[in-house]
Amino acid sequence: MPAPTYLIRSASVLGQETADILLEDGKIAAMGPHLEAPGAQVIEAQGLIALPGLVDLHTHLRQPGYEASETVETGSQAAALGGYTAVFAMANSKPVADSAAVVEQVHALGLDSGWVKVQPIGAVTKDLAGQQLADLGEMAASKAQVRVFSDDGMCVWDPAIMRRALEYVKTFDGVIAQHAQEPRLTEGAQMNEGKVSAELGLTGWPAVAEESIIARDVLLADHVGSRLHICHLSTKGSVEILRWAKERGIEVTAEVTPHHLLLTDELVRSYDPVYKVNPPLRTEEDVLALRQAVADGIIDIIGTDHAPHPAESKDCEWACAANGMTGLEQALSIIQMTLVETGYIGWADVARIMSFKPAEIGLASDQGRPLAVGEPANLVLLDPTARRTIVPADQATKGKNNPYRGMEVPGAVKATFYAGHPTVLDGALNSPRREG
């Protein structure tokens, strides 16, 4: 039986000209006005925007080890619903993804699920302990073909280890994704250090703890001539350091999360742990600087830092709650709200920061490709006029720790095609893609 073909009618490509798009054999077979394709299933996309399938360089899928929080299956379903066709799974599972065996396990789980491409990230150091390099080469050479390495959740704080890691991964054009957090400056830290923390009596997480590591690491990357990626930039000062580094020609890229583009530490006044996240929510001034930095190209990509947790990890007092919030199923809406509707960027930029560039950083060659004939048929259809209320209970992710609950947001993903297969249709999960 031949694989079904799909004819998407009258989609606005990257929010610009309207075209029909024919998907056949996992590729874009034709694009243009008024295509005819007898036998193809027709998807009416009048008024919808077609974007390349989104790529998340920063997802916590929690498997193996924390299946109560999320599994590869539920996390990749959430991703598909959010318009993603690829996610990079962070290494802080149990056991930690610091060996070929674990990354191959995650990779295999991703293939079994089939909702999105699941690309494992490898740990930089064994057990994220920051002391001894993980099996970097073994993971790169494994079936998972790891190219992005991160101790995310922990900072590679030791400058000598960081330097060696940056150098070593050049062997296979890898990149170190740093969670920038000076550990001594953030002992016991609970929230952004500022006027709100002063009142609430919660130990502060100062901006300088992020900025000092970023400053050190861009200098290290410059010194050894390596690629460096900075996870979840959260402060205005970090933007300034990045701007300087890029002007100097240092090969550094940076990411911001949707929540750091919208939410501020004022929310912590509720002491509701749904707002507890690392790095913490910052100030309005930081939020605006981060938005501008995306517009200026100082920040390269959006990474969700999707971090699901079981209910009990948040249904407690602030100090004992886990860090993290879910992100995949409304990332595109939050970006539309904070960057597009505010005039900072257009839809073509959304394609760049949520698809092209993250795929390029992570060397996911079949992802983040232009919407053009002959390219892989990874794309998402978005209704930008839709308005919807976020209801965590209705989401596919196991994590209900969603800071946007009850909020009305713009935009709804209507369909997601992963290698020509509709994982999402009519805004709901359709079916996973099966190989061959």
Partner 1 sequence: MKHLLDTKELSLADALNLLDTADYMAGVGQGDLLKLPHLQGKTVVNLFFEDSTRTRLSFEAAEKRLSADIINFAAKGSSVSKGESLKDTIQTLAAIKADAVVIRHSASGAPQRLAEAGWIDLPVLNAGDGTHAHPTQALLDAMTLRQFKAQRDRVETRGLTLEGLRVAIVGDILHSRVARSNLWLLNTLGAQVKLVAPPTLLPRYTDSWPAEIYHNLDEALESGVDAVMMLRIQKERMQAAFFPSAEEFTRFWGLTPERFAYLNSLNHETAVLHPGPMNRGLEICSQAADSPRSWVLRQVSNGVAVRMAALYLLMTGGSSQDFYPAA
Catalytic residues: 305
The yes or no reply on residue 319 touching partner 1 (CB under 8 A) is yes
| Contact positions with partner 1 (CB under 8 A) in 289-318 | 312, 315-318
The reply to whether 194 sits near partner 1 by the rule CB under 8 A is yes
Candidates 35, 108, 111, 200; binder of partner 1 (CB under 8 A) is 200
Q: Does 152 bind Zn ion (CB under 5 A)?
A: yes
Nearer to Zn ion, 257 or 355 (CB): 257
| Closer of 135 and 152 to Zn ion (Cβ) | 152
353 vs 357: CA distance, rounded Å: 6
Tell the smallest beta-carbon distance from residue 274 to partner 1 (Å): 11
Cβ pair 146, 174 in contact under 8 A: yes
Closer residue to Zn ion in complex, CB, 104/182: 182
Per CB under 8 A, the list member of 198, 348, 372, 391 interacting with partner 1 is: 198
286 binding partner (options Zn ion, partner 1, none; Cβ < 5 to 8 Å by kind): none
Considering only residues 201-220, where is the footprint of partner 1 by CB under 8 A? 201-204, 206
Beta strand segments in 277-358, E: 301-302
Q: Which does 179 bind (CB under 5 to 8 A by kind): Zn ion, partner 1, none?
A: Zn ion
Taking CB atoms within 8 Å and a gap of at least 24, the contacts of 221-225 are 221/166, 221/250, 221/251, 221/252, 222/248, 222/250, 223/163, 224/163, 224/166, 224/167, 224/170, 225/170, 225/251
- Quick check: 143 and 107 in contact, CB under 8 A? yes
**Residue 152 binding: pick among Zn ion, partner 1, none (C-beta 5-8 Å cut-off by kind):** Zn ion
Per-residue buried b or exposed e for 423-436, using 16+ beta carbons within 10 Å of the residue's own CB: bbbeeebbebbeee
Residues that contact partner 1, how many (by CB under 8 A)? 23
Residue 200: how many other CB atoms lie within 10 Å: 16
- Considering the rule CB under 5 A, would residue 179 count as an interface residue with Zn ion? yes
Residue 270 near partner 1 by CB under 8 A? yes
Q: Are 60 and 306 in contact (CB under 8 A)?
A: yes
The DSSP secondary-structure symbol of 127 reads G
Determine if 401 is a binding residue for partner 1 (CB under 8 A): no
CA distance 398 to 306: 11
Residue closer to partner 1 by CB (options 157, 275) is 275
* C-alpha Rg value of the chain to the nearest Å: 21
Residue 415 phi/psi, 5-degree rounding, is: -150, 145
Task: Determine the Cα–Cα distance for residues 290 and 255; give it in Å rounded to an integer.
Answer: 10
202 binds, among Zn ion, partner 1, none (CB under 5 to 8 A by kind): partner 1
Give contact residues for partner 1 (rule: CB under 8 A): 190, 193-195, 197-204, 206, 270-272, 312, 315-320
Residue numbers at the binding site for Zn ion (CB under 5 A): 152, 179
